[in-house]
Amino acid sequence: MPYVTTADDALIFYKDWGAGRPVVLSHGWPLNADSWEAQALFLAGNGFRVVAHDRRGHGRSTQTWHGNEMDTYADDLATLLDALDLRDVTLVGFSTGGGEVARYVGRHGTARVAQVVLVSAVPPFMLRTPDNPQGVPADVFDAIRAGSLADRSQLYRDLADGPFFGNNRPGADVSAGIRDAFWLQSMAAGHRNAYECIAAFSATDFRTDLDAIDVPTLVIHGDDDQIVPFPVGGRASAARIPHARLLVYPGAPHGITDTHREQLGRDLLDFLSGKDA
């Protein structure tokens, strides 16, 4: 299987599909590159080279004891882009992956980057603090940590059956297959890695990273996102990034890579092709 090796000798697994201008997909917590398969297949079939990696500690990548934080995630992404010598890249980050993309730009700039897309993403800053009063209270994330320690398998099952895909909303009909795939990918993540990543996605302040984005940016978010609430995530990011385009999916949940896979694929293709999303 294809891997790149990081500075601390971690192996980062990646998929490399298609040919053309590169698109790099960063996944959410606690998933892996498989969560992007619908969009990767669609974009690769429409003339793009699509690279999707497993974040360290997730999927097929090394379950390192250390490095489960955004600076290292971003540096791992830089290693991937450098090793494959990818240029004129569109970076697409879903949820935690959106934080990884933002931190990459903040630490490494946009010399290799042509476009950025944030999908249901955690920036600018999820945690409620005195200077971020609209954020999510710390006890929400404490409860996720407690669930992870007590019975992480059931935690992932509860997320998949409930708020992640909006399956707790009246009339929702998210297939058992989609929910099972979430659980399966989640259980492939290392226990410590997934646990520490909760702090990485919830307590990392990406505001200055967003300020560094100087390429065309598309922000996509569902307005019924129960994981990263729209006002905290998409709306705030689009307001902060100069000239960002905001695309709101009415009534959509967090996991739109599955629940809105065809719409998301079309909107990504339009943006990649220079059309209005």
Q: What is the pLDDT of residues 44-70, one digit of tens each?
A: 999 999 999 999 999 999 999 999 999
pLDDT at residue 277 greater than cutoff 90: no
Q: For residues 100 and 77, is the Cβ–Cβ distance under 8 A? A: yes
How many domains, in total, are found in the chain? Answer: 1
Residue 99 lies in a domain: yes
Verify whether residue 209 is a known catalytic residue: no
Using one digit for the tens of pLDDT, what is the confidence trace for 128-168?
Answer: 999 999 999 999 999 999 999 999 999 999 999 999 999 99
Please report, for the domain that includes residue 171, its CATH number.
3.40.50.1820
CA-to-CA distance for 19 and 47, rounded, in angstroms?
Answer: 6
Residue 174 lies in a domain: yes
Residue 22 lies in a domain: yes
Residue 277 lies in a domain: no
Q: pLDDT value at position 152?
A: 98
Residue 163 lies in a domain: yes
Verify whether residue 224 is a known catalytic residue: no
Q: pLDDT value at position 59?
A: 98
- The whole-chain average pLDDT of the chain stands at 97
Residue of 35, 61, 95, 237 marked catalytic = 95
Q: What is the Cα 198 distance to its own chain's centre?
A: 13
CB-based burial label for 153 (10 Å; 0-12, 13-18, 19+): exposed
Residue 150 lies in a domain: yes
Verify whether residue 27 is a known catalytic residue: no
Amino acid in position 16? D
Residue 203 lies in a domain: yes
Q: What is the Cα 38 distance to its own chain's centre?
A: 15
Residue 101 lies in a domain: yes
Amino acid in position 163? P
Extract the tokens encoding 236: 């705030």
H or E element, residue 208? helix 207-211
Q: pLDDT value at position 276?
A: 62
Direct distance between the N- and C-terminal alpha carbons of the chain, in angstroms, rounded to an integer: 35
Question: What range defines the domain where residue 209 resides?
Answer: 3-272
Q: How many CB atoms lie within 10 A of CB 214?
A: 14
Angle, helix 138-161 to helix 191-203, in steps of 10 degrees: 120
Work out the pLDDT band at 1, boundaries 50, 70, 90. confident
Residue of 225, 237, 258, 260 marked catalytic = 225
Residue of 53, 58, 254, 260 marked catalytic = 254
CA-to-CA distance for 210 and 213, rounded, in angstroms?
Answer: 5
Q: pLDDT value at position 275?
A: 81
Mean pLDDT within 90-98: 98
